C-alpha cells in the first residue's frame, strides 16, 4: 500500500518536553516565550527532583495554564531517562509531534515554528548551530571547539552526513518514537542525542536540519561534565566500530556471491 505524501501527515497537536534540574530561574521565562511563539502547543516539564524548587514552581505554573503539565521524578537519572519518560507520556496521548527543548534559554522557542514547518516534509528535524544560517551566542570558545570536534567525530564514526548529532533542540513525528526501541536506550547524558539521531537514520526515517541560534545560558549552571563527555566518546566509538565491521561483512558477502 502506497504511503500518503509526507505533507499530508498532520504535525499537530504538538508536545514540547522540557527536562529540568535546578532551573527555577529559567522555567517561567522559557514557557512564556514558548507560548508567545506558539500559543497552541503543550509543554511537559519533567523535573528530576530539583532541590531548588523547580518542580514546585512548575506545579504553580501548570495550575494556572492548562497547556502546561508536570512530571515529577524522584532522582536525577540523566537527560536521556528524562526524555524517554516524557516521550512515553506523549505517546500515551494523541500528540502527533514531540519536541525536545532545554529549559535554560539556550534553545530559542522563536525558532520552533520554522522547525515544525520543516517537519511537514520530514520525520525528524534537528535544530542545528552548524548549518548555514545557524549561530552560537556567548558560548566559551573551549565549549564550541569541544562541540564541533564531538560532532565531527560522530560523523566520521557513524558514517551519516549530519552536521550536528548532538543537537538537543529537535522535533520528532510520533511514528519515529513509536518505532525506536526506547527500552534499549541506555545513554544517559548528551550522548542520548547522538544515540537517537543515529537510530532514526538507521531506521530509514527522513532527517533534516534547520538553522537555529544557540545562546549560552545566563542563569544557573551547565550540566556538561567530564563523565558526560567520556560516555559519548566511548559509546560512539563502539557504535562506529560495529557499523564499520558490518559494512565490511556486507561487502565481503556481496563479493562472494
HSE-up (13 A, CA, CB side) for residue 154: 27
**Is residue 239 domain-resident?**
yes
**Is residue 2 domain-resident?**
no
Among 82, 96, 89, smallest CA distance to 13 is for: 96
Q: Tell me the sheet residues that pair with 7.
A: none
Tell me the three cell numbers of residue 176. Answer: 519515529
The structure's pTM equals 0.84
Q: Which domain holds residue 79?
A: 8-256
**Is residue 1 domain-resident?**
no
Peptide bond before 13: cis, by omega within 30 degrees of 0?
yes
Q: Residue 34 is part of a domain; what is its CATH number?
A: 3.90.550.10
**Is residue 3 domain-resident?**
no
**Is residue 217 domain-resident?**
yes
State how many domains the chain has.
Answer: 1
Q: Over its length of 257 residues, how does the chain's per-residue pLDDT go in tens digits?
A: 344 444 457 899 999 999 999 999 999 999 999 999 999 999 999 999 999 999 999 999 999 999 999 999 987 778 889 999 999 999 999 999 999 999 999 999 999 999 999 999 999 999 999 999 999 998 888 888 888 888 888 788 777 788 988 889 999 999 999 999 998 886 766 788 888 998 999 899 999 999 999 998 665 555 444 555 666 566 666 656 665 556 556 556 666 66
**Is residue 117 domain-resident?**
yes
Amino acid at each position: 500500500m502506497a504511503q500518503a505524501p509526507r505533507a499530508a501527515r498532520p504535525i499537530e497537536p504538538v508536545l514540547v518536553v522540557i527536562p529540568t534540574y535546578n532551573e527555577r530561574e529559567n522555567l517561567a521565562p522559557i514557557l512564556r516565550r514558548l507560548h508567545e511563539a506558539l500559543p497552541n502547543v503543550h509543554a511537559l516539564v519533567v523535573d528530576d527532583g530539583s532541590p531548588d524548587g523547580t518542580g514546585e514552581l512548575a506545579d504553580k505554573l501548570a495550575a494556572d495554564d492548562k497547556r502546561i503539565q508536570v512530571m515529577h521524578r524522584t532522582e536525577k537519572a540523566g537527560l536521556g531517562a528524562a526524555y524517554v519518560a516524557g516521550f512515553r507520556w506523549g505517546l500515551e496521548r494523541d500528540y502527533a509531534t514531540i519536541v525536545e527543548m532545554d529549559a535554560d534559554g539556550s534553545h530559542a522557542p522563536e525558532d520552533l515554528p520554522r522547525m515544525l514547518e520543516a517537519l511537514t516534509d520530514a520525520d525528524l528535524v534537528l535544530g542545528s548551530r552548524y548549518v548555514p544560517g545557524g549561530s552560537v551566542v556567548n558560548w566559551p570558545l573551549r565549549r564550541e571547539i569541544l562541540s564541533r570536534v564531538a560532532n565531527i567525530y560522530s560523523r566520521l564514526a557513524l558514517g551519516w552526513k549530519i552536521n550536528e548529532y548532538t543537537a538537543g533542540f529537535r522535533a520528532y513525528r510520533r511514528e519515529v518514537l513509536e518505532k525506536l526501541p526506547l527500552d534499549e536506550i541506555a545513554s544517559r547524558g548528551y550522548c542520548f542525542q547522538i544515540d537517537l539521531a543515529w537510530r532514526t537514520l538507521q531506521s530509514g526515517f527522513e532527517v533534516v536540519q534547520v538553522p537555529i541560534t544557540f545562546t549560552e545560558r545566563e542563569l544557573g549552571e551547565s550540566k556538561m561534565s567530564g563523565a558526560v563527555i567520556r560516555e559519548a566518546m566511548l559509546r560512539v566509538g563502539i557504535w562506529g566500530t560495529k557499523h564499520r565491521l558490518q559494512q565490511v561483512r556486507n561487502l565481503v558477502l556481496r563479493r562472494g556471491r
